[in-house]
């Protein structure tokens, strides 16, 4: 059965999609405005089916936040602490290994490492974190340090971002996570994350990583002060870099979490906005294979819905996520493999366990 659209302008966008023509920012704005949300979903679902069939990917992974001490003052963050503040911590090698061993199981494929911009420790500390994990768990992929952290290390160590990345790769770095992107416009960054890497610096960190042979991830943190146009500019910046390097594996729209778990509906993104943004991401990012629905932020049931709105990846088992939960995420901090498989199968899709690089480990 073909796609049924009630909106003539949407039919024009459908023609473009079917002829493999790239959508413009204006097209994206229309996709945000049309009342035919299910029409947008159908278009995104068709593009996803052509790219990924009925596969839905997940990974068994563990989050590690080695330090929460941070120099930056991002207005959306509840995770960071100042040096000496109550609750501030910095794991040494022993604490790090104990943390992992207490949560370990033999299916874990990936360590996802993000921390504060901590000026109390040298760049070597961040290298040692990777070395320690690689030495003790050589089979696990290390996905560590956002583009913003790479720019911070460059300032901390007084070396170029390229040199930072070369040192990290020598220590055992396998890929960069997608965080630190927030919204890639300077208006947004000046207000929300003034002390962190600029738009150009974040993109440059990833471009250098791609040039050094790393495949990386890209996120977008939506749902605060940005306009729909800024979301689309963000997608376009990522898409332009992908044209150049083909280094991104996946795009991950992240719904902003309010500072308090008690925050009412007005403080959270709506289900409509979450589904629409995932669908639009799939339609705009024609040169990126995977769109991830992040169950930590939107919850398990919306994540299941997202599988018909253009998403083909639901992230992972994520043992003890701290950053979204420190600002009021309502979801649990981890999910079992069986729950993930059930979630995918009950959406009439095929669960595929993957490694970090989307190589298939097992189809269920």
Assess whether pLDDT exceeds 70 at residue 265: no
Annotated binding site for [4Fe-4S] cluster: 70, 74, 77
Q: Which domains does the chain have, with CATH numbers?
A: 56-267+285-299+311-363 (3.20.20.70)
Please report, for residues 251, 252, 312, 348, the alpha-carbon distance to residue 1 in angstroms, rounded to integers and kept in the order given. Answer: 29, 29, 21, 17
Altogether, the residues listed in the chain come to a count of: 364
Determine how β-strand 110-113 pairs with β-strand 61-64: parallel
Asked if residue 72 lies in contact with residue 117, where contact means CB atoms within 8 angstroms, the answer is yes
Annotated binding site: 70, 74, 76-77, 182
**Tokens representing residue 147 in the block:** 């583009």
**Given CA atoms 333, 338, 344, 347 in this order, what sign does their dihedral have?**
negative
Assess whether pLDDT exceeds 90 at residue 354: yes
Which residues, at least 6 apart from 63, have a Cβ–Cβ distance to it below 8 Å? 112, 113, 114, 318, 319, 320, 321, 322
What torsion do the CA atoms of 178, 356, 172, 120 make, to the nearest 10 degrees? 30
Q: Is 67 helix (H, G, I), strand (E, B) or coil?
A: strand
Question: pLDDT tens digits for 152-181?
Answer: 999 999 999 999 999 999 999 999 999 999
Query: What confidence tier does 43 reach under pLDDT thresholds 50, 70, 90?
Result: very high
**Tokens representing residue 222 in the block:** 């939506």
Backbone angles phi, psi at 354, to 5 degrees: -125, 170
Question: pLDDT tens digits for 44-94?
Answer: 999 999 999 999 999 999 999 999 999 999 988 889 999 999 999 999 999
Determine how β-strand 350-354 pairs with β-strand 360-363: antiparallel
Annotated binding site for S-adenosyl-L-methionine: 76, 182
Q: Is 81 helix (H, G, I), strand (E, B) or coil?
A: strand
Assess whether pLDDT exceeds 70 at residue 279: yes
Question: pLDDT tens digits for 199-208?
Answer: 999 999 999 9
The per-residue pLDDT of the chain, averaged, comes to 94
Full-model pTM: 0.95
Mean pLDDT over 329-352 rounds to 85
Which residues, at least 6 apart from 123, have a Cβ–Cβ distance to it below 8 Å? 153, 156, 157, 159, 164, 167
């Amino acid at each position: 059965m073909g796609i049924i659209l009630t909106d003539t302008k949407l039919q024009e966008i459908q023609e473009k999609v079917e002829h493999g023509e790239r959508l413009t920012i204006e097209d994206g704005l229309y996709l945000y405005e049309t009342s035919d949300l299910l029409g947008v979903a159908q278009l995104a679902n068709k593009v996803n089916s052509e790219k990924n069939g009925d596969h839905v990917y997940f990974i068994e992974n563990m989050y590690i936040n080695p330090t929460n001490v941070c120099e930056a003052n991002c207005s959306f963050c509840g995770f960071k602490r100042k040096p000496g503040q109550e609750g501030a911590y910095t794991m040494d090698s022993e604490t790090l290994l104990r943390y992992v061993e207490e949560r370990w199981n033999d299916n874990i494929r990936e360590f996802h490492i993000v921390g504060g911009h901590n000026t109390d420790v040298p760049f070597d500390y961040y290298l040692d974190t990777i070395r320690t994990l690689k030495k003790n768990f050589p089979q696990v992929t290390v996905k560590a340090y956002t583009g913003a952290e790479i720019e911070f290390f460059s300032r901390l160590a007084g070396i170029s971002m390229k040199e930072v990345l070369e040192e990290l790769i020598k220590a055992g770095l396998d890929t960069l996570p997608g965080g630190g992107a927030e919204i890639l416009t300077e208006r947004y960054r000046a207000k929300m994350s003034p002390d962190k890497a600029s738009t150009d610096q974040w993109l440059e960190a990833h471009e250098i990583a791609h040039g050094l042979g790393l495949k990386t991830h890209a996120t977008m943190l939506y749902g605060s002060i940005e306009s729909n146009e800024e979301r689309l500019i963000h997608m376009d910046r990522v898409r332009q870099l992908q044209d150049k390097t083909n280094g991104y594996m996946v795009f991950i729209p992240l719904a902003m979490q309010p500072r308090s778990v008690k925050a009412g509906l007005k403080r959270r993104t709506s289900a409509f906005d979450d589904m629409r943004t995932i669908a639009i991401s799939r339609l705009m990012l024609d040169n990126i294979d995977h769109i991830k629905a992040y169950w930590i932020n939107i919850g398990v049931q919306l994540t299941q819905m997202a599988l018909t709105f253009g998403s083909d990846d639901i992230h992972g088992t994520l043992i003890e996520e701290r950053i979204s939960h420190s600002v009021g995420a309502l979801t649990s901090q981890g999910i079992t493999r069986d729950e993930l498989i059930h979630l995918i199968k009950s959406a009439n899709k095929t669960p595929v366990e993957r490694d970090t690089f989307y190589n298939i480990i097992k189809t269920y």
